[in-house]
Amino acid sequence: MKQTVQPNIPATKAFLKIKERQLLIDNQWINGSTEEMIDSIDPATEQVLARIVSAQPEDVDHAVSSSRLALTQGAWPVMAPSERSRLLWKLADLIEENIDELAELETLDQGKPLYVGRWAEIPGAVEQFRYFAGAATKIEGSTIPTSINYQPEGKKIFAYTRKEPIGVVAAIVPWNSPLVLTAMKLAPALAAGCTVVLKPAEDTSLTALRLGELIIEAGFPPGVVNIITGYGAIAGKALASHMDVDKVIFTGSTETGRSILDSAKSNLKKVSIELGGKSPVILMDDANLDLAIPGAANAIFFNGGQVCVAGSRLYAHSKIYDQVVEKVADIAKGMKLGHGLLPSTQMGPLVNKRQVEQVNNFILTAEAEGGSLVTGGKRLDCPGFFIEPTVIANARQDMQIVREEVFGPVLVCQKFDDIEEVTELANDSKFGLAASVWTESLSTAHRMADDIHTGTVWINCHSMFDASLPIGGIKQSGWGQDCGMQALSKYLEVKTVCAVI
């Protein structure tokens, strides 16, 4: 597979001309405290795109104290909500103006096909900033009638609540959908009046750094957003355990989520964690298969399965099971793999070598445990971290591949006979992020939406996101939700004021 692909957008080429990137602190681009850098690699070619700073605990200290100062002094703490709103809207406009460049950068850095960034994720980031620009002016407390019976003679009680920014937020983001996941954290945090130290994933920091340039251009005061690049175990850990961070907001694996909880114990900072999933896709026997079969294939193969809500467990009714498996496998076989910048590409590479090896091991174990490989299963023999879209039939609930998150293009298929059985199978997971049900029966759809224990249930669709729709997991898929007005509450504290008047 020929992979010599160049960006088309002059701004992308200009951005990539700077080979050594810096940290953003106080609206200034500065070097890290050590000379240690990390290669940022195009996963489709394994070529180095740029080098990012491996931030150390001293850099994290610097960023956190800048964010603390911005929270308490200067323009930000006294800024009118309408002005915060204007800045957020301005940032949305700037992202939109630079959408082609940002989409190209995301493809080069992460590997995803260009259409994913250009038409779904970067517009999704724009919408996050617009949605929460509207929210900034609607942060309200309430007046509360009390029943206190011991107030001084002749006096009354006047009680109310205020919603105040939670403080300095550490936002730690994964590599699968870097810019839109960053926007999901930054937009509500800034709308709430917090300041943020952002740490993107070490594999995919480039769009966050470009966003930093747009944040300065939009006019955010210094220190309101600082950006620290680096390894999770060094920079991420220093941030999550920092004594002057008030809240850590994290999206990533369940395993790292546990480390974040350990780190956050240091000063009992508040924590929100959006973690992994193993989402069931359920095809009832009355499903419209013309929609459900491509829908099931897209649920797992979109972004190479590197999606927290990827529909990685397919449950098809026994009457349609053989047909569904065969046709989903046909779609998988026909998928064009390649560099994300090539217009023909339907699936790009996985993000790095470690990921491709992990996915490969999952497939080998699934076969050893009795799964039947219907299609795929191999790493492509070329540069880049490509693995074939894979379908495994005859899966059982006790198999590793059914129980663990693979985070790659691997679908496991099982059959069922009735609604009770499939509900039990779908719920038999430590994860509880999302599910989809495909049926023409309104009653079956809503009955299952009621019975399935996940944060989201989609009906006749999968992976439908919007800035207004809360997304988050139950069980070991996390605490709290991104998107929607609930997300704002993660960045606010409630203060009660009770006065004798």
By CB under 6 A, tell whether 233 contacts ligand NAD.
Answer: yes
**Site map (CB under 6 A) of ligand NAD, residues 282-321, x = contact:** --------------------------x-------------
Nearest-angstrom CA–CA distance, 484 and 489: 10
User: Are residues 102 and 109 in contact, defined by beta-carbon separation less than 8 angstroms?
Assistant: no
| Least Cβ distance, residue 494 to ligand NAD (angstroms) | 25
- Of 307, 311, 319, 213, which Cα lies nearest the Cα of 251? 307
249 or 374: CB nearest ligand NAD: 249
Crossing angle of the two packed helices 99-110 and 122-135, in degrees rounded to 10: 120
67 or 176: CB nearest ligand NAD: 176
Token pair 């049926």 is at which residue? Answer: 439
Cα torsion 346, 352, 354, 356 to 10°: value is: 20
> How does DSSP classify residue 136?
G
By CB under 6 A, tell whether 178 contacts ligand NAD.
Answer: no
**Given 308, 388, 413, 483, the catalytic residue:** 308
Token pair 């999302």 is at which residue? Answer: 434
> How does DSSP classify residue 339?
-
Helix (H) or strand (E) holding 220: none
| Least Cβ distance, residue 487 to ligand NAD (angstroms) | 11
Burial (CB < 10 A; 0-12, 13-18, 19+), residue 100, is middle
Nearest-angstrom CA–CA distance, 296 and 282: 9
User: Are residues 340 and 438 in contact, defined by beta-carbon separation less than 8 angstroms?
Assistant: no
Q: State the distance between the two ends of the chain, measured CA to CA, in whole angstroms.
A: 78
By CB under 6 A, tell whether 269 contacts ligand NAD.
Answer: no
3-state SS, one letter per residue, for 341-405? CCCCCCECCCCCHHHHHHHHHHHHHHHHCCCEEEECCCECCCCCCCECCEEEECCCCCCHHHHCC
Burial (CB < 10 A; 0-12, 13-18, 19+), residue 193, is buried
Spell out the residues 6+ positions from residue 73 whose beta carbon is closer than 8 angstroms to its own: none
Which of the ranges 15-23, 47-55, 436-444, 473-481 carries the binding residues for ligand NAD, by CB under 6 A? Answer: 473-481
By CB under 6 A, tell whether 385 contacts ligand NAD.
Answer: no
| Least Cβ distance, residue 426 to ligand NAD (angstroms) | 18
**Site map (CB under 6 A) of ligand NAD, residues 421-450, x = contact:** ------------x-----------------
**Site map (CB under 6 A) of ligand NAD, residues 246-265, x = contact:** -----xxx--x--xx--x--
| Least Cβ distance, residue 303 to ligand NAD (angstroms) | 10
| Least Cβ distance, residue 184 to ligand NAD (angstroms) | 8
Which of the ranges 143-151, 362-370, 470-478, 488-496 carries the binding residues for ligand NAD, by CB under 6 A? Answer: 470-478
Q: Which of residues 46-65 bind ligand NAD (CB under 6 A)?
A: none
Which of the ranges 145-153, 207-215, 236-244, 375-383 carries the binding residues for ligand NAD, by CB under 6 A? Answer: 236-244
By CB under 6 A, tell whether 473 contacts ligand NAD.
Answer: yes
Kindly tell me which residue out of 50, 122, 173, 215 binds ligand NAD, with binding defined by CB under 6 A. 173
Residue with the closest Cβ to ligand NAD? 232
Kindly tell me which residue out of 405, 444, 448, 492 binds ligand NAD, with binding defined by CB under 6 A. 405
- The single-letter code of the amino acid at 149 is N
- Of 344, 341, 381, which Cα lies nearest the Cα of 112? 341
Kindly tell me which residue out of 165, 167, 174, 377 binds ligand NAD, with binding defined by CB under 6 A. 174
**Given 274, 388, 413, 483, the catalytic residue:** 274
Q: Which of residues 196-215 bind ligand NAD (CB under 6 A)?
A: 199, 201-202
- DSSP output for 148-184: ---SPTT--EEEEEEEEE--EEEEE--SSSHHHHHHH
232 or 409: CB nearest ligand NAD: 232
Nearest-angstrom CA–CA distance, 114 and 46: 18
| Furthest CA-CA distance within the chain | 86
Question: Site size for ligand NAD, by CB under 6 A?
Answer: 32
Catalytic-residue membership of 308: yes
| Least Cβ distance, residue 305 to ligand NAD (angstroms) | 10
| Least Cβ distance, residue 181 to ligand NAD (angstroms) | 6
50 or 292: CB nearest ligand NAD: 50
Which of the ranges 147-155, 174-182, 293-301, 362-370 carries the binding residues for ligand NAD, by CB under 6 A? Answer: 174-182
| Least Cβ distance, residue 255 to ligand NAD (angstroms) | 7
| Least Cβ distance, residue 18 to ligand NAD (angstroms) | 22
38 or 426: CB nearest ligand NAD: 38
Neighbouring-strand partners of residue 379: 387
Nearest-angstrom CA–CA distance, 114 and 101: 11
Residues that bind ligand NAD (CB under 6 A): 172-176, 181, 199, 201-202, 232-233, 236-237, 240, 251-253, 256, 259-260, 263, 274-277, 308, 405, 407, 433, 473, 477-478
**Active-site positions?**
274, 308
